[in-house]
Amino acid sequence: MRCFKIEKPDESLRDAIKDKIDNLNKPKGSLGLLETLAEQICLIQQTLTPTFQHPCHLLFGGDHGIEREGVSVSPRDVTWQQMINFTRGGGGVNMFCRQHGFTLYIIDMGVDHDLTAYTDILNRKIAHGTKNFLYEPAMTEAQFNQAIETGCELVDRCHQDGCNIICMGEMGIANTSPSSIWMHLFGNIPLDECIGAGAGLNNPGLQHKREVLHKAVAHYIAHSDKENKLEPLLYFAGFEMAGAIGAMLRAAELKMTVMVDGFIMSACMLAASQLYPEVLRYAVFGHCGDESGHKRMLGLMHATPLLQLGMRLGEGTGALCAYPIIESAVRMVNEMNNFKNAHITKYF
């Protein structure tokens, strides 16, 4: 895997940022999380007057071998069907990208279907889905590295177009399963407490999912290389998840703001942070989703989500929904007057 140089934002500007925010014509701290968010974005961009330019959304698609074990209520055909739907503008992700002015890239990382006829889908297919991690690693190290490089390539493309805030989303039936396992392994949380209903499993289905994932983790522990930090990533990831990890790390390396979506994308950020902890300083967490365990996963990263709307669609929709709040934080620091210029007595 390539080495990333992800630096902690220079803290020398923090006092000036705090002074500017505290002297806007409002009671100190009265805009709450917007003030914290504005401070983070100012530090990322190293300026007292941050701006967002050419926001982009990367939607990665891929299928999972573990789906063959019946761990999802939806069949894998839904992955390719939804990918085609996205090209027609009919998905939730399309709606929110249009609403907030995001350029949408739809990327086939490993969908188990031939999508080459759809020119709006970028063909970066590594294989027709991953292997079944109940019995073997989901992918080889070479395939994992290929996915990482694809994520980097796409971020570079956006960055070259002037993008400085980027969002990632996913489409991949059964990807809550690897996300739950990463939460268990990286957070030292009992596996059952990490497993949810995904797209809507009933109680017997949920119990079956738990049994399958317990067997998969036991097989991994018995056969994995404990010294290889990449092992839990490539053993369980989907190609779309590995692509997102590469995109997150490259975006942080380029000092871009990284918008993080729900359970799956939070799991990818958690995985990325196991390799490069400083990536979290560039992350803005859009929402706390309705998937079981998401709140605890966010807690592992000391993350404060902007929204809690009971969402669990994926695709990046929860993060995109939060964009107006992120934009409001920037407008606050740029457009609000201060006490001196407004000729208002500072009243705190």
Q: Is 106 helix (H, G, I), strand (E, B) or coil?
A: strand
Catalytic residue among 35, 170, 240, 315: 315
Q: How many CB atoms lie within 10 A of CB 187?
A: 17
What DSSP string describes 266-319? HHHHHHHHHH-GGGGGGEEE-B--SSTTHHHHHHHTT---SB-------TTHHH
Q: Which residues pair with 230 in a beta bridge?
A: none
Radius of gyration for the alpha carbons in the chain, expressed in angstroms and rounded: 20
Q: Is 80 helix (H, G, I), strand (E, B) or coil?
A: helix
Q: Which residues pair with 259 in a beta bridge?
A: 167, 284
Q: How many CB atoms lie within 10 A of CB 39?
A: 18
Active-site annotation holds for 315: yes
- Residue 229's contacts (CB-CB under 8 Å, 6 or more residues apart) are 274, 275
Q: Are 81 and 127 in contact (CB under 8 A)?
A: no
Residue 239, amino acid? F
Query: Which two three-digit tokens encode residue 162?
Result: 């002037």
- Closest listed residue to residue 243, CA positions, set 172, 312, 331: 172
Q: 239-253 and 141-160 are packed helices; what angle lies between their axes, rounded to 10 degrees?
A: 50
- Parallel, antiparallel, or unpaired: how do β-strands 56-62 and 121-123 relate? unpaired
State how far the Cα of 216 lies from the Cα of 69, in Å rounded to an integer: 11
What are the C-alpha distances in Å from 58 to residues 167, 196, 257, 300, 338? 6, 25, 14, 25, 38
The torsion region of residue 122 among left (phi > 0), alpha (psi -120 to 50) and beta comes to: beta
Active site residues: 315
